[in-house]
């Protein structure tokens, strides 16, 4: 599986992302052609090789005629819809701008239809975001990962005045994403950069096991006492990714012997709602022969702190055991089969041996069983048989 990793040691912005994509081998001419089709006033992407604290990188500048337009989301999506971008490129660009609109709307107490884009509605920001969407599509990776994100410190001047870093929209976009403990003076991560990573990145943490095939360095416009670069590493995920996927999760565990069953049950419900990958309760015997419960929660690393907070707020736990656990994940897809009891959905897992395993969805099977007055097992068997017939 082809993957990409964004090493955001100095944060991330739209132009830094674009520079890294071009430096990694994406054709700037193809990106320019897509941007041209938006109908923006005289917009040109200029590539320059620069050095940041001794390190070479590609810097992309957007040259355009001066303008003073403040656009709404629908103005930008209309441009995208009228363009010659491919369906996937339009989808990526629209998703990024929609994330931006949602963040701006929350910050200003407005709606995504009414909120004004100021800085991110300017020609250069539109070119950066749409150009990045085109670049990611042309790069052709299946999954994107990233390091924790530093934001910088101090203040930045925006259309609404002087604001603390991270800017309000940037902070909103980075909710739930791990931030790095690197705090030089100045803005390292911009709203466009935060929108790109929060929309496209599937996991945050250290560099995953991979065989590197290309590296791109994208430069920011500012100079700091450190290299103001984002590094993009592209390559093939290491085994056992050929049989599925390899990643790591955070395991949270605590022993409970003084919480009521109702409280534990409520906590489990809230953990699911908060995004837990799995929640498990195991009966155990604790000191003084008291019966207890081992609560085990599997979490994505960037959600571990949030889920730990749910446990502390809803149980009597005074502490948690926390560890990073490698795991293997089989590739999977959704499927639906026709049975004598109606349509039943399920999950198809690709096995390392090359075969597939179909697991019918419990809710679908249970609903069909009630409707037709049969047992759950009968519907499940019928769904499995239907899938087998479709494969033969």
Please tell me the least confidently modeled range out of 60-74, 218-232, 296-310, 361-375: 60-74
pLDDT at res. 240: 46
pLDDT at res. 245: 54
Whether the predicted pLDDT of 64 surpasses 80:
yes
Distance (Å, whole) CA 120 – CA 70: 9
Please tell me the least confidently modeled range out of 18-22, 107-111, 276-280, 371-375: 107-111
CA 12, distance to chain mean position in Å, is 15
Q: Are strands 342-350 and 356-360 parallel, antiparallel or unpaired?
A: antiparallel
Per-residue HEC secondary structure of 314-355 comes to HCCCCCCEEEEEEEEECCEEEEEEEECCEEEEEEEEECCCCC
CB 291 within 8 A of CB 285: yes
Which CATH architecture fits 245-329? 2-Layer Sandwich (3.30)
Whether the predicted pLDDT of 372 surpasses 60:
yes
Query: Which tens digit of pLDDT belongs to each residue from 226-254?
Result: 999 999 999 998 754 444 455 678 999 99
Whether the predicted pLDDT of 138 surpasses 90:
yes
CB 197 within 8 A of CB 146: yes
pLDDT at res. 251: 94
Query: Which tens digit of pLDDT belongs to each residue from 321-364?
Result: 999 888 888 888 889 999 999 999 999 998 888 889 999 999 99
Whether the predicted pLDDT of 392 surpasses 90:
no
> Burial, 129: exposed, middle or buried (Cβ in 10 Å; 0-12, 13-18, 19+)?
buried
CB 54 within 8 A of CB 248: no
Please tell me the least confidently modeled range out of 132-146, 169-183, 242-256, 284-298: 242-256
pLDDT band at 125 (very low <50, low <70, confident <90, very high): confident
The residue that leads in pLDDT, 163 or 231, is 231
| Number of neighbours of residue 154 by Cβ within 10 angstroms | 11
The residue that leads in pLDDT, 112 or 267, is 267
CB 316 within 8 A of CB 256: yes
pLDDT at res. 112: 83
């Amino acid at each position: 599986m082809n993957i990409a990793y964004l090493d955001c040691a100095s944060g991330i912005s739209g132009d830094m992302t674009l520079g890294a994509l071009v430096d990694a081998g994406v054709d700037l001419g193809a990106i320019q052609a897509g941007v041209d089709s938006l109908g923006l006033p005289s917009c040109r992407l200029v590539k320059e090789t620069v050095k940041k604290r001794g390190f070479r990188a590609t810097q992309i500048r957007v040259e355009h005629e001066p303008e003073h337009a403040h656009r709404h989301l629908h103005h930008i999506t209309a441009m995208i819809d009228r363009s010659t971008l491919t369906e996937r490129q339009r989808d990526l660009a629209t998703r990024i701008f929609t994330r931006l609109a949602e963040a701006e709307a929350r910050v200003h107490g407005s709606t995504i239809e009414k909120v004004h884009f100021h800085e991110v509605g300017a020609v250069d920001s539109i070119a950066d975001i749409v150009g990045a969407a085109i670049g990611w599509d042309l790069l052709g990776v299946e999954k994107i990962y990233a390091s924790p994100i530093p934001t910088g410190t101090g203040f930045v001047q925006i259309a609404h005045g002087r604001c603390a870093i991270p800017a309000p929209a940037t902070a909103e976009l980075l909710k739930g994403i791990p931030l790095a403990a690197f705090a030089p003076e100045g803005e390292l991560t911009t709203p466009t950069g935060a929108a790109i990573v929060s929309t496209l990145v599937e996991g945050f943490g250290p560099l995953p096991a991979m065989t590197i095939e290309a590296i791109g360095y994208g430069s920011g416009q500012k100079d700091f006492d450190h290299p103001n670069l984002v590094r993009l590493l592209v390559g093939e995920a290491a085994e056992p990714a050929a049989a599925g996927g390899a990643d790591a999760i955070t395991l949270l565990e605590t022993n409970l012997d003084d919480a009521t069953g109702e409280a534990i049950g409520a906590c489990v419900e809230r953990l699911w709602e908060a995004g837990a990958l799995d929640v498990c309760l195991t009966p155990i015997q604790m000191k003084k022969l008291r019966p207890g419960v081992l609560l085990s929660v599997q979490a994505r690393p960037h959600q571990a702190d949030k889920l730990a907070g749910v446990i502390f707020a809803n149980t009597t736990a005074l502490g948690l055991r926390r560890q990073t656990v490698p795991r293997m994940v089989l590739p999977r897809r959704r499927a639906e089969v026709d049975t004598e009891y109606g349509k039943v959905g399920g999950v198809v897992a690709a096995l390392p041996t090359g075969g597939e395993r179909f697991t019918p969805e419990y809710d679908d099977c249970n609903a069909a069983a009630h409707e037709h007055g049969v047992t759950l097992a009968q519907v499940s068997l019928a769904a499995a048989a239907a899938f087998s017939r479709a494969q033969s």
